[in-house]
Amino acid sequence: MTSELAVADRERSLGTFAASLEAELSVERDLMRAVWRGIIVAVPLGIVFFIGLLALAISDKSAWYVWAGLGVGAGMLGGTLFGVLAGVTLTAHKLDRVDQHVEHV
């Protein structure tokens, strides 16, 4: 075996690489935008959900600022996680499409 690589057409491979790199960078920018949009939408919903949940669970056993603070903290954490998950899930098909296009070229 040899450790040398044989490249048939160097100009074509560099052009293909540059085009595929630009396509992937574009999709990654879309992914980051989708993640940030998901976080912006999910955090307020998570805060409202967890404040309501903790109000039902422990509002009669503790002061309001305890369950409200816990709800805000848990809502921010849950909203961030679910926002990232939603953004990645909604954009994953674009990454697959770019990968398939590069494989067939």
Residue 10's pLDDT is 56
Task: Using the predicted structure, report yes or no on whether residue 21 has a pLDDT greater than 90.
Answer: no
Determine the distance from the C-alpha atom of residue 81 to the mean position of all C-alpha atoms in its chain, rounded to a whole number.
9
Whole-prediction pTM? 0.75
Q: What's the average model confidence in pLDDT over 23-50?
A: 94
Average pLDDT over residues 78-88: 96
pLDDT in tens, 37-53: 999 999 999 999 999 99
Sign of the CA dihedral with 15 first, then 18, 20, and 26 last? negative
Quick one: tokens of 1?
């075996």
- Contact status, residue 44 vs residue 79, Cβ threshold 8 Å: yes
Domain ranges of the chain: 43-105
Q: How far is CA 45 from CA 20, 26, 33, 50, in A?
A: 37, 29, 19, 9
